[in-house]
Structure 1
Amino acid sequence: MENISKVLENGSSKEKIKILETLDNVNNPEILGKIISQLDDDDIKVRGEAFSSLILNKNKISNFLIDSLKTANKNIRGFASLVLANRNETEAIPEIIKLVNDERSMVRSCALGALGHLKAREAREIFLEGLADSNLEVKKSALQAIIDLKISISEEKINEILTEKDSELEKMVSLIKKISGPEGI
């Protein structure tokens, strides 16, 4: 266990990945904390392996993940919300909702994506508010959740979205139009 901690703290990316590949059944709080900290590694492959290890973990680790939503680190806040969503941890919805007003756009985007994945219908107004966010990726996350949950929106709201000249947003809006029909809400 001490060796695992040392590698996750100071090892090379290759060493970290090799260890993380074996840690999908951990319930030791110290090691879980080290795995969660790897969601902020400089190497995207290490972050991805930590993400996978946490998603695949069959133990009851949602409390550790929910606690990590309160960390100062934006990557850990954002990615932990996505891990919780991929684990279908619906009890995390109230805590993830708190992240939709985060100062960091990446965290807001992840939180909206997580809520959409969790089919959080109670976040309907939050998704609609997300369409007015100053960040394009946050808007896309909100719009994807609206599409996935088949929430209809008004023609006026659709036209507001289209003021952003972005081809991906335009494709998403065409899907929304199919859902909303002519009347919207």
Structure 2
Amino acid sequence: MQNLEKILRILDSGKIEEKIRLLETLEHTNNPEIVEQIILRLDDDDIKVRGEAFSSLVLNENEISNILIKNLTSANKNIRGFTALVLANRNEANAIPEIIRLAKDERSMVRACAIGALGHLKAKVAKEIFLELLLDSNLEVRKSSLKAIIDLEISISNSKIGEIIKEKDPEIEKLLSQVKKI
């Protein structure tokens, strides 16, 4: 128990370097309390700590998917979005239904992460969502949707392409050149 207390103390109030060193050693943990604490670091102030937490969760070969899936409903946008990406990088196809729910999240960052995760997981069941989000209010969400559509070889109508091209964004135009048209 003393070891757990030390881990929690470092993750809560340790220096950045201490947190990173500790997170590097936790990729094999199956302790649910520690896994939860690692997930909380996906919202750390320091990007290196967030990255190390992400890596630790992706590399963890234990059955932690239920803990990760539970965190898709976190009040914190970074935890929702980055957890979706962790699940995708772990190839957790069982999380697709929960990740689909995030595609309608109020935060554009979470929507973009969800779409990226669904694309990575080759979630063809999300085809209509990808097509719908091509016209999202956020440019990154639109790009993520377009990338998923290209990767999954989903066809887009010429009229939809006409709507998208109005964007005048060079990256969108480049992606559109790769789209399968119907």
Normalising by structure 1, we get a TM-score of: 0.95
CA deviation map 1:52-71 (0-9, x unaligned): 00000000000000000011
**Helix, strand or coil at the partner of 1:25:** coil
- How far the C-alpha of 1:167 sits from its partner, in A, is 1.0
Q: Tell me, in whole angstroms, the C-alpha distance in 2 between the residues paired with 1:43 and 1:59.
A: 26
Aligned-partner residue type, residue 178 of structure 2: L
What's the offset of the Cα at 1:166? Answer: 1.2
1:147 aligns with 2:119: no
Query: 2-side partners of 1:70 and 1:15: how far apart?
Result: 29
Partner residue in 2 for 1:163: 166
1:72, distance to aligned residue in structure 2 (A):
0.1
Q: 2-side partners of 1:69 and 1:12: how far apart?
A: 27
DSSP 3-state at the match of 1:21: helix
Return the offset for 1:156: 1.1
Hey, what does 1:24 align to over in structure 2? 27
Correspondence for 2:102 among 76, 91, 99: 99
Q: CA deviation at 1:155?
A: 1.1
Q: 1:74 aligns with which of 73, 77, 84?
A: 77
Runs of at least 5 residues in structure 2 that lack an aligned partner in the other structure: none
AA partner of residue 166 (structure 1): D
Deviation at 1:41, TM superposition (A): 0.5
User: Residue 62 of structure 2 aligns with which residue?
Assistant: 59
Q: Indicate the residue corresponding to 1:36 in structure 2.
A: 39
* CA RMSD, Structure 1 to Structure 2 (Å): 0.7
Q: In structure 1, what is the equivalent of residue 139 of structure 2?
A: 136
Distance in 1 (CA, whole Å) between partners of 2:90 and 2:74 is: 20
1:99 Cα deviation from its structure 2 partner: 0.4
Q: Distance in 1 between matches of 2:177 and 2:44?
A: 37
Residue 24 of structure 1 deviates from its aligned partner by 0.6
User: Deviation at 1:37?
Assistant: 0.2
Quote the sequence identity (%).
66
Which residue identity lines up with residue 79 of structure 1 in the other structure?
A: F
Tell me the residue number matched to 1:15: 18
Report how far residue 2 of structure 1 moved: 1.2
Aligned to 1:90: 93
Q: CA deviation at 1:165?
A: 1.8
Report the residue type matching 2:172 in the other structure: L
Give the distance between the partners of 1:120 and 1:155, measured in 2 at CA: 23
* TM superposition outliers: structure 1 runs of 4+ over 2 Å: none
